[in-house]
Structure 1
């Protein structure tokens, strides 16, 4: 398995001594533990292809179509980048995420990437509207505290962009973090990111962890550290089982019968 027992033990040790604090709202909770993202991909069979001793992380999917780059301290506006190569039937696309994006929210996007896509889904505005965001007539929406804004961009190759600013100053303040999806990013992946973003469940952060803004509310969590580790392990097991089931389903030979020979000429056009 790409994800080793030692790696899980290191995650557990990291969180065992931390006093967890419920931190909300989600968009101000800060980056958290990047392993929420990388462990989920590893559970789906992705492998690290970068230097293990480098702080930079590059991971590739088993079919080599997808690549995730995590470049901390890069000085760039995006610390996370995810590329999808084009195929004979699907176009390539790119999504980028800023330094302070919560790892759990980004994991909502990457988890949705490695499991089968839903057969039906609405649009991004439907997701945030259901969560009580304020919509306007220009394909934009704002969180109730006005700190987080979703906008459909028509002036560039971007399709949807999320920007987070300080709640007390809104868009007049420096941007805290962003998420950008180009116009070919599958809609269900954008929806998965937004679903995680608007989830009112507090995120767990340790005492002294960096938040995106000082106004983030933190209270002692009723969860014990071992419960946080158990939830992480259960999520990885669920991803692994779902991916395996999908691969078995895709590898099954077709059971449909071939069309009668006499009918074949009529089927060619």
Structure 2
């Protein structure tokens, strides 16, 4: 006798255990396709070979890579010099959560905002403490993550963010002082976001400093949530190409936000 499947489920589909993890800055790296599939949907050129990731912006003004082999490995993002922008460079080590990396890389696909950027504003809104001295530093409420404008000497400076657990340093992100400020603000916004991120069973970091909630998720739901994110990228590209201006659309909700809206599914 064949087992009857609940209505709306795919063939043989069973829910899988995942975890909502807080704070996100200690959640572990996640699936880097969260970054790369969005860039591909936004029209970036995929030049990856094997497990080495390489993407270029449509106008070739920015290149992005991920190297899993050469120490320390991780993400590298470089912007070329233009008439209005000096060359810039960012490096993010492998354990930076992909949702935080995507805060930066998603912003690369969007028009530069008209307002003056403020890197500290998203951190201040989430109650990060700010310390003024030779180096201006903001520290997360759990004291495990920071953002610093590091002033080595006059004319020599860089932005540095990092996280640690009871086991030591977890990740680092470094931006040259010439990195466009709206990109660093996009990074700090994603870093300070209080929404949890989702990780599958077996992919939780080995630390006691995270909070987790077990949830059951169907594979079709995961695919639908990711597809909604990719559709948002394609729609933004289409709107810019068609109208020549930034579309007035709200960003796609995060996977955790969509999941939080589903009642009665948490275990």
TM-score between both structures, scaled by the size of structure 2: 0.79
Residue 262 of structure 1 aligns with which residue?
Answer: none
Which segments of 5 or more consecutive residues in structure 1 lack a partner in the other structure? 1-14, 252-269
Structure (1 or 2) with the larger CA radius of gyration = 1
Contact 1:29 1:212 (C-alpha < 8 Å) held by counterparts: no
2-structure distance, mates of 1:212, 1:164: 14
Map 1:134-145 → 2, pairs under 5 A? 134-138=129-133, 139-145=136-142
Residue 123 of structure 2 aligns with which residue?
Answer: 128
Residue 45 of structure 1 aligns with which residue?
Answer: 43
Instruction: Give the aligned CA root-mean-square deviation in angstroms.
Output: 2.3
SS at match of 2:239: helix
Residue 189 of structure 2 aligns with which residue?
Answer: 195
2-structure distance, mates of 1:97, 1:65: 19
Residue 255 of structure 1 aligns with which residue?
Answer: none
Q: Among 106, 111, 132, which residue is 1:111 paired with?
A: 106
- Report which of the two has the higher share of helix: 1
Residues 96/240 of structure 1: CA separation in 2 closer, same or farther (3 Å cut): same
Residue 218 of structure 1 aligns with which residue?
Answer: 212
Contact 1:16 1:226 (C-alpha < 8 Å) held by counterparts: no
1-structure distance, mates of 2:14, 2:56: 30
Which moves more between the two structures, 235-244 or 209-218?
209-218
Give the drift of 1:245: 1.8
TM-score between both structures, scaled by the size of structure 1: 0.78
Matched, 1:74 2:73: no
How many residues are treated as equivalent by the alignment? 230
Map 1:1-269 → 2, pairs under 5 A? 18-51=16-49, 54-76=50-72, 78-138=73-133, 139-155=136-152, 157-166=156-165, 168=166, 174-211=168-205, 213-221=207-215, 224-250=218-244
- Report which of the two has the higher share of strand: 2
Residue 263 of structure 1 aligns with which residue?
Answer: none
Give the drift of 1:210: 4.2
Which segments of 5 or more consecutive residues in structure 2 lack a partner in the other structure? 1-12, 246-267
